[in-house]
Amino acid sequence: MKAYILLSTKPGTSLDVVKKLKEKVKETVTADAIFGRYDAIVILEAPQLEEINQVVYKIIEKDPNVIRTETSIVLCPM
């Protein structure tokens, strides 16, 4: 399973958030701070949807610098 996670973070914290995800979450394919409506984008890959859920709910959303997330699950990976 593959998922794109769009993050809104507290001002000035997006680089710290993506650095932590790259270093500590093995399901992270890539994580980048971005300009625009959101502050960061993270791509996760895991064999099961439940593993992605665990990362989103127990790690990303628990980060005190993350304000909100929007998750898009890839339906048909190529």
Question: Is 71:44 a contact under the CB 8 Å cutoff?
Answer: no
- Domains in the chain and their CATH numbers? 2-73 (3.30.70.920)
**pLDDT confidence of residue 77:** 64
- Using CA atoms, how far apart are residues 32 and 34, in angstroms rounded to an integer? 6
- DSSP at 32: E
**Digit-coded pLDDT (tens) for 16-75:** 999 999 999 999 999 999 999 999 999 999 999 999 999 999 999 999 999 999 999 998
* Residue 61 Cα distances to 68, 71, 75, 78, angstroms: 7, 11, 23, 28
Residue 78 above 80 pLDDT?
no
**pLDDT confidence of residue 76:** 79
